[in-house]
Chains A and B, each alone.
Chain A
Amino acid sequence: MSSEMAPVQQTGSLRQWLQSARPRLIWLAVFLICLGPLASLIWRFETDQLAADPVEDIIRTTGDWAIRFLVAGLLITPLRRLFGWHGLARFRRMIGLYAFFYVALHLTTYLVVDQGLDGQAILHDILKRPYITVGMATVTLLIPLAATSTDAMTRWLGGQRWRALHRLVYLAALLGVVHYYLLVKLNITWPVIYGAILLAGLAWRVREAATKPKPKRRPVRPTAPAG
């Protein structure tokens, strides 16, 4: 960074530097904005503005944001293709990891604060409460995706296998919405909205895959004769 800062004596260079640093600055801004929900939670906690049941408030808020980031992450590719917003592509990993981050906060609050790490109670919940069962399945599906999010892991897996694995995110997001739907008492507005967005995105994907000629992808040579 400092080597780039060096030629700042002339305004032209400053503009130049800003020009070249712009993508990184925007990336940083998006990164910080995504921390906003957590910052707001901490602020409300510190200033005693959480709801009367603060544990419920934290669980609900982190859960809400987990779903929002999951849905947002899945919308990036359709939006890119439909509207040509290709600049969005470089935020996809960040958004996906933020979804996982808020899922992790959500789960940790449930396990540690709400249940007090009572293993038996938690196991009982997982086995007996469909919304907990589904929630746990969601987290389980997201773990390998977060773990393979680095460039090195992508290379190691190979693009094709990586893509195949990461299609699981649709299932994870749908399970997340089901989890939400199952615990709502009456007002199912938001789970239905998130579900509709996801299904629309999924339908678009399926249609794309069906209608578009396959991108020149080398078919894998079978090592043994087929048939």
Chain B
Amino acid sequence: MLIAKPTDIKPSEITSRSAYLNRRRFLSTAIGAGAIGAGALGAGLATLSGESAMAAPLNFTKTPPLQSDALTPLKDVTTYNNYYEFGTDKSDPAENAGTLKPKPWTVKVDGEVGKPADYALEDFLKPYALEERVYRHRCVEGWSMVIPWVGFPLASLINQVEPTSKAKFIEFTTLADKVQMPGLRLPYLDWPYREGLRLDEAMNPLAILAVGLYGEDLPNQNGAPLRLVVPWKYGFKGAKSIVRIRFTETQPQTAWNVANAHEYGFYSNVNPEVDHPRWSQSRERRIGEFSRRPTLMFNGYGDQVASLYTGMDLRKNY
């Protein structure tokens, strides 16, 4: 549980973790003999060990966290999930996502873009250096976590694929395969799951595409092999298991907005002053703590993102 001064928290957590990760990185460098992409390395290990590559260590640099929050334990990050393609209970994804096959994986990039293509995930990831980003994750339901993601800035991808001058938005589409995802049998959402960002939001340096957490490949239940992380927005904006990234001129539809436009807007920025129609957003329970703590505007990332929304009525654009 968290106590008093946040500066007390970091050392023990981070030190031991980084020592561990350094060892990991050393090992993976030794095995991979230098600059090998995460996917390729995963595949290599999988071949070597004959197992799934789920726990393959990743090569990455550490970006200093913006806040000094204690990390949420790995067990909680990987067993308390909303991923309706695998069931609507928080424990369902961890139980059911074993059927997801994150390898091989193809990502389609299309729409208003100079270089549309279907990429094998390894090729898709090749141009980018991975880094660790410790971000707060605030669920629209009123709970939060602190997660050390591994990924790369979404802006790098956007620059790489050269959007046309018409591109104003990006749409992310999650896999929708009934064989791999038992939850698709029930029409809770208008599958496939889709999410979207305005292009300038997507270009913000905080927005990342993640391929791992806690130094290893993303577990299936967290959105393997590729997911969006936008820490100043509610968690559902972070599309999981992405198969398509489309650049559009008009604002794309998003799954939750289609399901209930009154409750889930396109922006869905974390905002303690704009309540969900049915519950308050002013406080949240950090997983691991008992009482609720105040929710911060833009989840505490106002300095980095508030300028994206100057002049906008955030009550209307919820």
Contacts and interface: CB of A to CB of B under 8 A. Distances in A.
A113 interface: yes
Interface in B126-164: 141, 143
Interface stretch (A10-18, A20-28, A50-58, A96-104): A50-58
B309 interface: no
Interface string B76-92: 10011000100010110
B236 to A, nearest CB: 10
Interface in A135-167: none
B16 interface: no
Interface string B266-291: 00000000010011100101011011
Contacts of B308: none
A130 B278 CA distance: 7
Contacts of A185: 88, 141
B70 to A, nearest CB: 14
Contact of B280 (A53, A56, A128): A128
B280 to A, nearest CB: 7
Interface of A: 51-56, 113-116, 121, 124-125, 128-131, 182-183, 185-187
B181 to A, nearest CB: 15
Contacts of B287: 52-53
A52 B290 contact: no
Given A55-B285, A113-B290, A183 B279 contact: yes
A142 B91 CA distance: 32
Nearest to B186: A187
B187 to A, nearest CB: 10
Given A52-B76, A113-B290, A114-B292, A129 B141 contact: no
Contacts of A114: 285, 292
B188 A56 contact: no
Interface residues of B, number: 26
B79 A187 contact: no
21 contacts: A51-B80, A52-B75, A52-B76, A52-B287, A54-B290, A113-B290, A113-B291, A114-B292, A115-B292, A116-B291, A116-B292, A121-B283, A129-B278, A130-B278, A131-B278, A182-B278, A183-B278, A183-B279, A186-B88, A186-B188, A187-B88
A195 B76 CA distance: 33
B259 interface: yes
Contacts of A182: 278
Nearest to B88: A187
Given A129-B279, A131-B278, A185-B141, A53 B259 contact: no
Contacts of B79: 51-52
B189 interface: yes
A27 to B, nearest CB: 34
Contact of B143 (A56, A129, A131, A183): A56
Contacts of A183: 278-279
Nearest to B291: A116
Contacts of A130: 278
A51 B259 CA distance: 27
Contacts of B84: 186
A52 B288 CA distance: 7
A54 B143 CA distance: 11
Contacts of B189: 186
A183 B279 CA distance: 8
B169 to A, nearest CB: 25
A55 B283 CA distance: 15
A83 to B, nearest CB: 33
The 8 closest A-B pairs by CB, nearest first: A52-B80, A52-B76, A187-B88, A186-B188, A116-B291, A52-B287, A53-B143, A53-B287
Interface in B169-185: none
Interface in B279-316: 279-280, 283, 285, 287-288, 290-292
Given A52-B287, A183-B278, A186-B88, 17 more contacts: A52-B75, A52-B76, A52-B80, A53-B143, A53-B285, A53-B287, A56-B285, A113-B290, A115-B292, A121-B283, A124-B280, A125-B280, A131-B278, A131-B279, A183-B279, A185-B88, A186-B84
Given A52-B79, A56-B143, A116-B291, A187 B285 contact: no
A56 B211 CA distance: 29
Contact of B188 (A52, A54, A116, A187): A187
Contacts of B259: 186
A53 B278 contact: no
A48 to B, nearest CB: 10
A125 B280 CA distance: 8
